[in-house]
Amino acid sequence: MSDVIDEYVKTEYAAGFVTDIESETLAPGLNEDAIRFISAKKNEPEWLLEWRLQAYKKFLEMDEPEWAHLKYPKINLDEVSFYSAPKSIDDAPKSLDEVDPELIETYNKLGIPLHEQEILAGVAVDVVFDSVSVATTFKEKLAEAGVIFCPISEAVHSHPEIIQKYLGSVVPQQDNYFAALNSAVFSDGSFVYIPKGVRCPMELSTYFRINEAKTGQFERTLIIADEGSHVSYLEGCTAPMRDENQLHAAVVELVALGDAEIKYSTVQNWYPGDEDGNGGIYNFVTKRGVCHTNAKISWTQVETGSAITWKYPSVVLRGDNSVGEFYSVALTRNYQQADTGTKMIHLGKNTKSTIISKGISAGKSQNAYRGLVRMSPRADGARNYTQCDSLLIGDRCGAHTFPYIESKHPSAIVEHEATTSKVSDDQLFLCLQRGIDVEKAVSMIVNGFCKEVFKELPMEFAVEAGKLLEVSLEGSVG
Amino acid sequence: MLKINNLHAKVEDKNILKGLSLEVKPGEVHAIMGPNGSGKSTLGYVLSGREGYEATDGTATLNDKDLFDMEADERAKSGLFLAFQYPVEIPGVSNMEFLKASVDAVREYQQKEPLDAVAFMKLAREKCQEVNLDQAFLKRGVNEGFSGGEKKRNEIMQMMLLEPEVCILDETDSGLDIDALQVVADGVNACRDPKRSFIIVTHYQRLLDYIVPDYVHVLSDGKIVKSGGKELALELEEKGYGWIDQL
């Protein structure tokens, strides 16, 4: 298969640029040739290459944002490799015995079955029959409903008209530094199209896609819900994934056309670095959706991983009566830093948005909520409700809230409630005195604190998320 | 059962208990009375292992096991129960979930089979009824939005569920009206058992009209200065705590 692709790439390649595409990994550093290399490797049509190059030009004029409440050494893009082929079988661990025992322990605590552990840890298993057959049944069912769910690299070829119409329509190339970077070099990601009036027959989960594509560090996702359709999309997985890339800059674009509804749930548990704050993923994500008339977009996220999280899933409420929701749990511990929140841009009449954010900080971590609610001059009767709660565990961590409210309409109603609390000694002692041990007590208190968000997650995910918090909090009280 | 010998304890460098001795045998009800600041609440906290309450001298054993050798949750699982003066709220954690975690932990420690969800529900509902709490309270957050009386009844219900050996009631009567006091006292009296003992910590004699003690001790400046039968409480009520200082 790869021979055929290589062959094809070579013919295209003859058209005239110079990068050596025989090599499987691109030398570190970002330049036009690197982008041409990526595009050629993926056998992309000319328009997409042009699009990437255009993004790159814009990127060159931009600076890395410094407004977030985050401290980290500046990323040296000259040291980042922007393309690497999937690792060959020879490099992968041969069995779980070769995998970091700590990782295995975490899998066991989360109750992940053995064969799934192998996939997650990147063990070179021949083929995992279970997940392949599941994926196949799954695809048949979706095809019946007319739902398209495939890697975006595939959709570029199979549905170029949709991609050309919507790619960058919600998050423009120059939206921000990291979005521009992603537009220039994106690796792969999901593409979803739900036809008019169709209710997607199942929750779509990237989990089923694990084997299909190593989407890597610059993931790009595009979801289109056509008029009156409905889809629930799950991203990520509670298990920590093996990943050697430090810089992650993903872009997710959602389009909910008239009367459509998109529910997007994320569990993010990438490597947060060690106890002393060494290593860990830098996660700079741009997620945004556009709601047309009567449409609804709901973001739910549980963020426990990454050394740095910079993420503001947003909704542009363009159509009248459209609804945007953001439910978030962000947990930081050790030296993790999170600056996360949302933007609700009310353009249409009678638009409504709800923001529920729960930040939990432990150890020496810093956890910030940053949110913008904007009511435009024509947003008659628009309403927002924001509730933003922080929970502190210990006395060396920080919680911060940066709410921005811009109201340009006299009839707009914006409510903001914020609380900061500590897991109190009183609460802990009540639990202990009833025989409940410290770790169980903390996890119970924290889960209670997050309840409003967890109830928005699909059932199975909610159970997993609760377990994930429990595992993540281990050892954070003492 | 519970033996306290020459107990000294401090809170934030301040010596509060200064040589307290007390022996509580199975089935006995002891009342500890004393003025504010005499160390009544400290006794309950030191015995149950609250952080910041440190025993500096003396011993305390429950069934010959050294309490100070155990973590707070282990003391609870060994049968020591403290009913709080001001039960705290835990938002979002349902009373049911909390009670189940508690009962599970205690049963596991006692090497008893865990109760399944159905059996537990049934038991919790029964106990609710006994302390006159609506079953809806099981679904609400722990003490979340409960009135003072409801919180205290919730404490008594927990005591009934856990079936501890020694129960310390820390000023359970504070903030209760007569009706609520009656319900709480009925709950305690229903739990009286030849194998279970109680330490009733209170400022006023009133509660002891409802829960009649076998012994009354007067605590002053960190020590028991006088012990007697239930009539001591009446005498104290009549003469006031000032009387103690003249002893």
Identify any residues that bridge with A400 across adjacent strands, giving them in sequence order.
A368
For residues A13 and B193, the model is more confident at B193
For residue A98, give the nearest of A126, A121, A119, A115 by alpha carbon: A121
Average pLDDT, chain A: 81
> Shortest Cα distance from B229 to chain A (angstroms)?
30
Give pLDDT, residue A92: 58
Is the pLDDT score of A131 beyond 50? no
Is the pLDDT score of A238 beyond 80? no
Q: State the Cα angle at B222 between B219 and B225, rounded to 5°.
A: 40
Contact B81 A433 (CB under 8 A): yes
Check if the beta carbon of residue A167 is closer than 8 Å to that of residue A191: no
* Chain B contact probe: residue of A434, A440, A477 with most B CBs at under 10 A: A434
Is the pLDDT score of A244 beyond 60? no
Contact of B84 with chain A, judged by CB distance below 8 Å, is answered with: yes
Query: Which of A62-76, A349-363, B57-71 is predicted with the least confidence, judged by mean pLDDT?
Result: A62-76
Q: Which domains does chain B have, with CATH numbers?
A: 2-245 (3.40.50.300)
B73, B81, B90: residue with CB nearest A448: B90
Give pLDDT, residue A55: 95
List Cβ neighbours of A72 (8 Å cut-off, separation of 6 or more).
A282, A307, A308, A337
User: Strand B141-142 vs strand B90-94: parallel, antiparallel, or unpaired?
Assistant: antiparallel
Contact of B93 with chain A, judged by CB distance below 8 Å, is answered with: yes
Contact B76 A435 (CB under 8 A): yes
Q: State the helix-helix crossing angle for A438-454 and A425-433, rounded to 10 degrees.
A: 120
Longest dimension (CA), chain B: 58
Is the pLDDT score of B180 beyond 50? yes
H/E element, A56:
helix A46-60
| 3-state SS, residue A429 | helix
d(CA A468, CA A206): 18
Give pLDDT, residue B105: 95
| 3-state SS, residue B51 | coil
Give pLDDT, residue A423: 82
Identify each DSSP E strand in A39-170 by its residue range. 148-151
Give pLDDT, residue A124: 46
> Shortest Cα distance from B199 to chain A (angstroms)?
16
Average pLDDT, chain B: 91
Residue window 158-187, chain B: list those with CB within 8 Å of chain A: 158, 162
| 3-state SS, residue A121 | coil
Mean pLDDT of A226-231: 97
Is the pLDDT score of A216 beyond 90? no
Give pLDDT, residue A85: 57
Confidence class of residue A37 from pLDDT cuts 50, 70 and 90? confident
Residue of B nearest to A443 (CA): B93
Contact of B48 with chain A, judged by CB distance below 8 Å, is answered with: yes
Give pLDDT, residue B173: 85
Mean pLDDT of A92-98: 66
Confidence class of residue A291 from pLDDT cuts 50, 70 and 90? very high
The first and second tokens of residue A247, run together, are: 């810089």
Q: Which residues of chain B are within 8 Å of residue A430 when distances are taken between CB atoms?
A: 84, 87-88, 90, 142
Is the pLDDT score of A241 beyond 60? no
Q: Which residues of chain B are within 8 Å of residue A427 when distances are taken between CB atoms?
A: 88-90
* Chain B contact probe: residue of A358, A391, A425, A431 with most B CBs at under 10 A: A431
